[in-house]
Amino acid sequence: MSYPSKHLLAIEGLEPPHIADLLDLAESYALLNRSGKTQRDLLKGRTLINLFFEDSTRTRTSFELAGKRLGADVINMSVSTSSVNKGETLLDTASTLNAMQCDLLVIRHAQSGAPALLSQKVDAAVINAGDGTHEHPTQALLDALTIRRHKGSLQGLVVAICGDIAHSRVARSNIHLLTTMGSRVRVVGPPTLIPADAARLGVEVFHDMKAGLKDADVVMMLRLQRERMSGGLVPSAREFFRFYGLDAEKLALAKPDSIVMHPGPMNRGVEIDSAIADHPTRSVIGEQVEMGVACRMAVLDVLARRLPRNR
Ligand code: ASP
């Protein structure tokens, strides 16, 4: 296993063999999970703390499940930042976590860079579970695993990431991962929702959804992340759906065997039509959630290998 770091803070900086090894290990966990077997000795005696400063459904639950399936003691801490200075809280929290002798720390925070800051202050291996608009590395891994299972390889695929790219850490992590692994990535959305530096990331930019979807192998839809928007960057939800919502008519332009993805939470009727979200053959949204557990097991496994022996 070629993984290069004590932590998982971002996809940016990982090289193809690091990503391929993580995906191969995650694939073996996907098979193990489907077989109903467990491996509860692997993280026995290890403590995993889920520290979430922002809401989460899938990510927090799947880290919890992943930790438990590998035998770790899992503790969930939900922290409200409403009335406190965030920098101060983080550093206070770091010393508390060190005192608790936490081995693996999963953190989600509204500020980009918070997990990296924390990683300098704690002894634990730190996993970024989403920081501001920066990165969400385990989401990109689970997306890549889902794509690989359907398409065999990431090399040469055309992947259209559509919607609110500017505020999406999912988009950034996916762009880094997919371009590193040889996919051709398009970002599709209105100019107000595409970051100014998009072309620098090695992607093609489309403002016309139909042109952006043409012959795509993978269509990845993103939610409008209003909590990170200042001011009205989109007219109305109805207008947005008309131009950028994925419905059968627009999807017909992608390859006939293309798959549809969404990291959740979905806003049906805004970025995606219900019939597409629930499509029995084209939508792989449920499988993404399943692969999330497998990928998080792989990440916990790989990082735990580098930890000092159990205290
Ligand atoms: N769940 C993803 C995230 O935390 C996507 C989203 O919230 O729209 O970034």
pLDDT in tens, 267-303: 999 999 999 999 999 999 999 999 999 999 999 999 9
Q: Any binding-site annotation on 40?
A: no
Q: Tell me, what's the pLDDT at 82?
A: 41
pLDDT of residue 216: 98
Region 12-32: what's the mean pLDDT?
98
Residue % of the chain over a pLDDT of 70: 96
User: What is the distance in A from the centroid of ligand 1 to the CA of 139?
Assistant: 9
Nearest Cα residue to atom 1 of ligand 1:
264
> What tens digit of pLDDT does each residue of 211-247 get?
999 999 999 999 998 888 877 777 788 899 999 999 9
Q: Report whether 104 contacts 303 (CB < 8 A).
A: yes
Q: Is 60 in the pocket of ligand 1 (CB under 6 A)?
A: no
Residues constituting the chain: 311
223 assigned binding-site residue: yes
For residue 84, pLDDT beyond 50: no
Q: Output the CA 207–ligand 1 centroid distance in Å.
A: 22
CA distance 118 to 143: 26
Q: What number is the average pLDDT over the span 56-83?
A: 87
In short, whether 189's Cβ falls inside 6 Å of ligand 1 is no
Distance CA 127, CA 138 (A): 9
How many CB atoms are closer than 10 A to CB 252?
Answer: 10
Per the prediction, the chain carries an average pLDDT of 93
CA gap 247, 221 in Å, rounded = 11
Averaged pLDDT, 243-266: 97
Q: Is 86 annotated as belonging to a binding site?
A: yes
| Tens digits of residue pLDDT in 147-175 | 999 999 999 999 999 999 999 999 999 99
Tell me how far the alpha carbon of residue 265 lies from the centroid of ligand 1, in angstroms.
7
Strands (E), 132-168: 158-162
Output the pLDDT for position 266: 96
| 3-state secondary structure (DSSP) of residue 106 | strand
Q: Is 74 helix (H, G, I), strand (E, B) or coil?
A: strand
